[in-house]
């Protein structure tokens, strides 16, 4: 193959490459571009506020229904959730009222104080002002109802004793406020001695108790003398005194009735007797007045005598004591790891 022919073939190949490029994709379908939708617009602060307000309004409505039905334990968490979603002092006020009704006075006081301390806007609404006034009025009585408890532990030094109230560490010799109701007090000594006591705290009271930690000492011996039996009174004296008092009461009633009739006859005398001259009706009234007055005096006298006799029977009748109570003695003996009780009857 001569040179001119090689040049012709090379030119033809170049031309073919230009007309039909290698790997042409003219027969493939054209690509469609994926259009990404724009991200949704973020809700504005006002929209978020209205959404939270709607949630709080719905929970607050349900909580108010429970509160009015007296279901304070169920109403409280709804009021709390509503306040967390959209805070208002009115919701905090009803949270305080729920805890107040449940006897949780410490938490109720804190919620009332929170409502009172709520900063007011420049132009507060009437409902906000009413909520603050109500919280102020209800806070004082709640403070007066909170009881206090003081615990005094006798035995080991205070530095060797740990005190717990309702499972929580409690300071020694320091009164503290608690909710009213039952509380468990426990004292634990470093030596291992332990004592527990349940205390009932009434509302508005200050209670002080003493716990003793000393039962593990050697040779501890105590004698417990029983309380003296109250003297008994003979049955006949009670019966006699009751009879005398009954007679005295009857005589007193008779005296009062006859005295009233005497006054009534005296009015007739004043009408029927003028200047010591009496009509026949006046003479009859005079005789009746004397009779009624005599019976009235006798009634009052008998009442006084019977009452005096009844009191004398009760005061001067000797009392008796049960023979079984004489000489009774109980002894408690605690030695090391055992405890014994001895009794003499």
The pLDDT, as a whole number, for residue 228 is: 54
Same domain membership, residue 113 and residue 137: yes
Cα separation, 138 vs 244, whole angstroms = 56
Tokens of 143: 């403070």
The pLDDT, as a whole number, for residue 232 is: 59
- pLDDT digits 0-9 by tens, 130-159: 999 999 999 999 999 999 999 988 888 888
Domain count, the chain: 4
Same domain membership, residue 180 and residue 68: no
Least confident stretch, 54-68, 77-91, 162-176, 271-285: 271-285
Same domain membership, residue 221 and residue 342: yes
Instruction: Kindly report the CATH number assigned to the domain that includes residue 166.
Output: 2.60.40
| Residue 268 included in any domain | yes
Contact 210, 179 (CB under 8 A): no
| Residue 18 included in any domain | no
Q: Is the pLDDT of residue 95 over 90?
A: yes
| pTM to 2 decimal places | 0.50
């Amino acid at each position: 193959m001569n040179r001119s022919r090689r040049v012709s073939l090379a030119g033809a190949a170049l031309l073919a490459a230009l007309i039909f490029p290698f790997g042409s994709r003219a027969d493939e379908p054209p690509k469609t571009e994926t259009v990404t939708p724009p991200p949704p617009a973020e809700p504005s602060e006002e929209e978020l506020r209205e959404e939270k307000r709607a949630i709080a309004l719905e929970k607050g409505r349900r909580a108010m229904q429970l509160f009015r039905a007296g279901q304070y334990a169920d109403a409280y968490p709804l009021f709390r959730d509503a306040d967390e979603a959209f805070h208002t002092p009115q919701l905090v006020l009803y949270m305080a009222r729920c805890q107040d009704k449940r006897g949780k006075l410490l938490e109720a006081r804190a919620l009332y104080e929170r409502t009172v301390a709520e900063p007011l806007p420049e132009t507060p609404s009437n409902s906000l002002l009413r909520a603050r006034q109500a919280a102020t009025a209800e806070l004082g009585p709640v403070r007066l109802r909170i009881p206090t408890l003081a615990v005094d532990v006798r035995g080991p030094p205070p530095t060797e004793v740990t005190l717990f109230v309702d499972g929580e560490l409690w300071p020694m010799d320091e009164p503290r406020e608690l909710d009213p109701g039952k509380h468990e007090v426990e004292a634990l000594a470093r030596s291992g001695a332990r004592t527990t006591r349940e205390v009932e705290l009434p509302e508005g009271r200050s209670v002080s108790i003493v716990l003793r930690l000393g039962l593990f000492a050697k040779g501890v011996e105590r004698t417990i003398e029983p309380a003296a039996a109250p003297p008994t009174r003979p049955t006949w004296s009670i019966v006699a005194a009751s009879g005398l008092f009954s007679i005295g009461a009857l005589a007193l009633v008779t005296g009062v009735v006859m005295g009233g009739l005497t006054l009534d006859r005296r009015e007739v005398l004043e009408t029927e007797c003028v200047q010591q001259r009496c009509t026949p009706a006046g003479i009859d009234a005079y005789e009746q007045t004397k009779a009624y007055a005599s019976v009235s005096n006798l009634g009052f006298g008998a009442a006084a005598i019977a009452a005096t006799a009844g009191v004398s029977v009760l005061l001067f009748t000797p009392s008796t004591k049960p023979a079984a109570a004489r000489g009774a003695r109980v002894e408690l003996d605690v030695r090391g790891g055992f405890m014994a009780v001895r009794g003499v009857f």
